[in-house]
Structure formats: structure tokens, C-alpha cells
Amino acid sequence: MVKVSVIIPVYNAADYLNEAIDAVLNQTLDDIEVICVDDGSEDNSLDILKDIASKDSRVMYFHQENQGGGAARNHALPHAKGKYIYFMDADDIVDLNALKECYDICEEKSLDFVLFKAENYAEDTGEYFKTSDYSMDEVCDFVGERIFNFRDLGDLMFKVSVTPWCKMYNREFVLSTNAQFAEGLIFHDNIFFWDVFLSAERIYFYDRYLYTRRRHSASSTGAGDKRYVSSITINNMIIQKFINHGLFEKYKKRLYDHKIYLIFHRYSTMREEFREFFYEELKKDFSKMLTHELHDEFISLIAPNNKKRFEMVVYSRDFREFDLLYSNLMMSMEKNTLAKENKKLKGKVKNYRRLLDKAPVSLFLKVKGK
């Protein structure tokens, strides 16, 4: 049995594909297979895959009409023969020791999956930087060296990155969950993640940065275009996953806040020309929630700022009114944030002055060189 199957969906990745696959083929763990699925690329990605596969028998490739990254990953899953599965993107880089280290940890601890950290690379500036989304420090600090599952985390579970490329999964475990990626939608990894995460009993957080995510304008999740409306559907599918696992009642307050926060995060990062379309779709969705018996009490559960966001969408007469209300809310929230930061700074200054007042005169004489 192959130790690790690496699954890579490919779409118009010709500029990055050789570098990404080289990072896999040059791993310190060489007992691997690489399964690439070309998702109807319009550049020469498929030709690059054919060339790589002709030179290394560990690489296989498939081609499908363009259906999205979720469908490409689903296409590859039945072909994986490894004991473990690792997903990566065709424009990113994985650390050369990542597969061996994760494989060894999974074997030693009999894991359903191992979780690790990722950093970002901004192609436009050449800057490497870390974000809380992929560092997950709160989760890492909380679990430490323990084996854990979602029940151990409580609300911290929503701080775990849903991305598949910061995890290595036991293949038999994944197959037992029947987890699939959402098809035809961006942010499709959310659906796979919640199925496996809510089913897993043995998870370990490996406190290492093993993956570099490339940020560039061609990325589907960074384009800020009309596809961002998928966020509405995806968040409804997440709620359904919790219903399917019998966990909706326990986590519904957090789920509602999670949905509204994420949707508005997507809205705030959309390009201006698509925001009115997003608003219209969001108004349809939120209006349905008002009349659906499943959500009959959600208004009383959500956080105050999310309640304001929700009401702005539902009760505004048109996009212009909504956009104005939303801009005012954002300015008000920013003002409150700045006021809190100012208060903290004043507190620090006050503490420093108190320490100076208590400091002996001899300290000041030393500072002056006397």
C-alpha cells in the first residue's frame, strides 16, 4: 500500500504547476502517489501534467470539463490508494518534510487526521506573512499535545481552518464518513471539512508551519467576484451538516453568528460591481429565514452587531439604502474599536507613570550618567 496519496485539483495553473508538483515529488517521504485532476484548464496545464507523468510513475492525471475544485477533488478520491490522503492546491508549496512528518505522527498516534499551520505568500509584493486563520494559535494553545475531537473544543471548533491542505487524513476514515466536497461552488472545502471534523475522534495539532498559500488575483477565493454569492449557499449547507449530525440545537447560536459574520466578510471583500447582486441574493435568503420554522428564534440568539446586519438586509428598501446603512455600521464599529484601543493605551501610560513615580531617585541619576 502506498503511504500517502496527494490529490491536486488543477485549473489554469501553468505558471505554478511545476513548482507545486516538484515540492511533492521531492518530499523526504517518497512512497507516495500524486493524483492530479485537470478541471478543464484553458492554458497548457494539461500538457504540463502529461509531461510530468511521463517522467515519474508516481504521478497520474485525469481530465474533466470545468466543474470546479470540489468536483475535481471528488473525482480523485476513488482513485486514491494511499493509507493517508493529503490535498493541496496547484499554485501552492508544501514543505519538503511535511508528508513524512505528518505520516509518522498519524501512524504513531493512530489519528483520523493531523492538523498543522500554514503561512501566506503575497505574489504581488513577495511578502511572506502569517494570519490567525491559518495559524490557529488559540486552538493550538488550547489542545497542546492532546489528542482531541470537536467536543473538546466547544466554540473554538469554529477557529479551526476548514482548508484541506493543512491536514493529512486517514483514507479509510474519510471513506467511512462519505464526505464530499461541494460541487459547482467556491468555498467548497467547508462541506468536506465539517463532515470529517464532526465524525473524527482522534485529531492532533502539529504545531509547525508546513504549507505556503500563494495569494494572487487569479485565485477563485481571492477574486472578489460574483462567485462569492456561493458563501450564502455554503453556510446553509454547513447548518444542514450540523442538523445531520444531530448537533444543530446545541450549536445553533454559534452557527447563526458564524453564518452572518462570514457572509458579511465575503461582502466586504467583494469588488464594488458585484455587491448589489450579492445583496439581492442575501435578502432572499434572510427573508426566508424569517418565515422558516427551523429559525423561529434566531433573532433573539444572534450577537447585537449581527442582528443589525441582518435587519439592514431584510428591511432596507433597496441596495443604496442598505449600502449606506452598512457603511455607517462599519464606521461605528471602527470608532468603537479605536476607542477601546485608546482606552488601553491610556491605561498603559497611567501604569508607566505610576512605576516612574515609585522608581528611586538613583535610577534617574544612572540614566543621566551621574
Which segments of 181-303 does DSSP mark as H helices, in order? 189-199, 230-244, 248-268, 275-291, 298-301
78 contacts 168 by C-beta, under 8 angstroms: no
pLDDT tens string 179-196: 999 999 999 999 999 999
Q: How many residues does the chain have?
A: 370
Task: Enumerate residues 6+ apart whose C-beta is below 8 A from 357.
Answer: none
> Which three three-digit cell numbers place residue 144?
497542546
Tell me, what's the pLDDT at 218?
55
241 contacts 198 by C-beta, under 8 angstroms: yes
CB atoms within 10 A of CB 236: 13
* Cα dihedral 320, 326, 329, 335 sign: negative
Residue 246 pLDDT level (bands cut at 50, 70, 90): very high
CB atoms within 10 A of CB 361: 6
> Which three three-digit cell numbers place residue 7?
490529490
This prediction has a pTM of 0.86
Phi-psi region of 178 (alpha: psi -120 to 50; beta: other; left: phi over 0): left
* Greater model confidence, 227 or 367: 227
Domain ranges of the chain: 4-218, 228-315
- The CATH fold of domain 4-218: Spore Coat Polysaccharide Biosynthesis Protein SpsA; Chain A (3.90.550)
For residue 365, the surrounding DSSP H or E stretch is helix 361-367
pLDDT tens string 70-121: 999 999 999 999 999 999 999 999 999 999 999 999 999 999 999 999 999 9
> Which three three-digit cell numbers place residue 25?
515529488
Residue 370 pLDDT level (bands cut at 50, 70, 90): very low
Residue 351 has pLDDT above 90, yes or no: no
Q: What are phi and psi of 167, to 5 degrees?
A: -150, 150
Taking CA atoms, 36 is separated from 49, 88, 162, 211, 276, in Å, by: 8, 10, 21, 18, 37
Highest mean pLDDT among 66-75, 260-269, 287-296: 66-75
Enumerate the β-bridge partners of residue 5.
33, 85
